[in-house]
């Protein structure tokens, strides 16, 4: 045991989407409001390093940080193009800097919360956190800074990789009410690739080139495809790039342990919040962190009620990853089948893991059975 570690009730190791969401949910709970909380991150969280999108029917606690929201989304495949009504959902775009500022702004009202910009060296199972400048200890440590993806047999490993550019045009070029969730009319290169276009006004949009595959692409491939798409589909050759972002998000059914010990709880991507089949994480982080805060406020263990029972959505993700990896059917055909045959809100509900068995059946009925049934059988038998 190190000499006199500084002690707290909770340490939040990693002040990104999950760490800061958890902070907000903890401070919302009356019994937790005066807990001594330490936030540790190597980064000051003062830059707009990513844009989070998610969909929900209710108001978000971060509604004031939204850059835009929409109630319809375009889907395009080579043979189907439609603006799809997604109500009661709204598709929301959150600027990470606004989110960081909102969450860190709470520190002014809560002197019991401390933020230290510091590299974390390691987190021990007994709740001791070694930073570059100090040693800290808490009743619970919530870790989103460290995770390892284990390579296991019979698990599927892909990544969602993308580059997005924020562009600005002199002349009006976009309809801000008509974003594009997926445009599969682009060359697939025997892979699964699509464009994503989120206009925030008539002159500005985020245009993103995304792939689901085993590895990412060389940087120039994203730039080439973005330029070609803007020219060929949006008829834009003159625009200013005001900001860029890129990312690689794990898409795997390999397990992410929910805790390192009774005292060290993993949250965010580290805690399995990234949906294996889509890479969407933000909504699942909200569910995970609000449940932890509720449990703590009721005097329960942070993960109380999180049973290890059968997770049907985990099985669906594994089947989907297998279908994408085996490529017995062109991957974009799967999305075409879903979006051309089913109401968009049902698909969004399914991807948010909110559907009933009957609704799941409607989803399964829309995809190619000669592809999905053998994949489902193999996944169920673990072969």
Binding site for ligand FAD (CB under 6 A): 14-19, 40-43, 50-54, 119-120, 144-145, 245, 247, 249, 268-270, 280-282, 285
Min dist. Cβ of residue 344 to ligand FAD (A): 17
User: In the complex, what is the shortest distance from the CB of residue 130 to ligand FAD, in angstroms, rounded to a whole number?
Assistant: 10
Q: Cβ closer to ligand FAD: 123 or 376?
A: 123
Cβ neighbourhood burial of 297 (10 Å; 0-12, 13-18, 19+): middle
Whole-number Å distance between alpha carbons of 203 and 262: 51
Q: Of 142 and 372, which has the nearer Cβ to ligand FAD?
A: 142
- Shortest distance, position 92 Cβ to ligand FAD, whole Å: 10
Q: What is the DSSP string of 254-311?
A: S---SBSSSSEEE-GGGGT-S-TTT---HHHHHHHHHHHHHHHHTT--TTTT------
Please say which residue, 10 or 52, places its beta carbon nearer to ligand FAD: 52
Q: How far is the CB of 118 from ligand FAD (least distance, A)?
A: 7
What Å distances lie between residue 312 and 240, 295, 357, 379, 383, CA to CA? 45, 24, 9, 12, 18
Instruction: Give the CB-nearest residue to ligand FAD.
Output: 16
Query: What is the Cα–Cα distance from 202 to 174, expressed in whole angstroms?
Result: 5
Nearest to 19 by CA among 94, 151, 116, 85: 116
Query: Residue 270: CB partners within 8 Å, gap ≥ 6?
Result: 14, 18, 143, 144, 145, 146, 147, 256
Q: Which is nearer to ligand FAD, 26 or 40 (CB)?
A: 40
Read off the tokens for 60: 């978000």
Q: Which is nearer to ligand FAD, 231 or 243 (CB)?
A: 243
Question: Considering beta carbons, is residue 41 or 183 the nearer one to ligand FAD?
Answer: 41
35 or 92: CB nearest ligand FAD: 92
Cβ 149 to ligand FAD, closest distance in Å? 13
Tell the smallest beta-carbon distance from residue 329 to ligand FAD (Å). Answer: 26
Token pair for residue 273? Answer: 């919040």
DSSP 204-253: EEEEEEEEEESS---HHHHHHHHHHHHHHTS-----EEEEEEEEEEEEE-
Query: CB 147 → ligand FAD: shortest distance, Å?
Result: 8
């Amino acid at each position: 045991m190190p000499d006199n570690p500084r002690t707290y009730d909770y340490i939040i190791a990693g002040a990104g989407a999950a760490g800061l969401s958890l902070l907000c949910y903890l401070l919302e709970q009356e019994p937790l409001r005066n807990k001594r909380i330490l936030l540790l991150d190597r980064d000051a969280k003062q830059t707009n390093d990513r844009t989070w999108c998610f969909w929900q029917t209710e108001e978000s606690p971060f509604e004031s940080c939204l850059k835009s929201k929409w109630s319809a989304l375009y889907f395009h495949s080579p043979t189907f193009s439609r603006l799809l009504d997604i109500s009661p959902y709204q598709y929301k775009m959150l600027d990470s800097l606004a989110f960081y500022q909102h969450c860190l702004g709470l520190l002014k009202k809560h002197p019991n919360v401390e933020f230290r910009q510091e590299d974390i060296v390691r987190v021990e199972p007994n709740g001791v956190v070694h930073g570059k400048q100090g040693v800290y200890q808490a009743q619970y440590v919530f870790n989103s800074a460290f995770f390892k993806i284990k390579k296991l047999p019979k698990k599927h490993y892909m990544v969602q990789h993308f580059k997005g550019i924020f562009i600005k045009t002199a002349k009006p070029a976009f309809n801000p009410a008509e974003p594009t969730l997926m445009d599969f009319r682009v060359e697939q290169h025997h892979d699964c690739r699509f464009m994503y276009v989120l206009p925030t006004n008539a002159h500005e949009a985020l245009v993103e080139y995304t792939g689901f595959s085993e590895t990412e692409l060389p940087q120039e491939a994203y730039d080439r495809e973005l330029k070609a798409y803007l020219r060929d589909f949006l008829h834009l050759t003159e625009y200013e790039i005001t900001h860029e972002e890129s990312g690689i998000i794990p898409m795997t059914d390999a397990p992410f342990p929910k805790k390192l010990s009774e005292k060290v709880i993993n949250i965010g991507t580290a805690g399995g919040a990234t949906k294996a089949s889509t890479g969407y994480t933000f909504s699942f982080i909200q569910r995970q962190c609000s449940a932890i805060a509720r449990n703590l406020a009721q005097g329960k263990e942070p993960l109380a009620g999180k049973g290890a029972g059968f997770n049907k959505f985990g099985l669906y993700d594994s089947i989907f990853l297998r279908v994408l990896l085996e490529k017995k059917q062109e991957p974009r055909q799967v999305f075409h089948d879903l979006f051309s045959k089913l109401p968009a809100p049902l698909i969004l509900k399914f991807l948010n893991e909110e559907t009933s068995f009957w609704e799941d059946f409607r989803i399964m009925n829309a995809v190619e059975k000669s592809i999905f049934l053998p994949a489902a059988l193999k996944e169920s038998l673990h072969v």
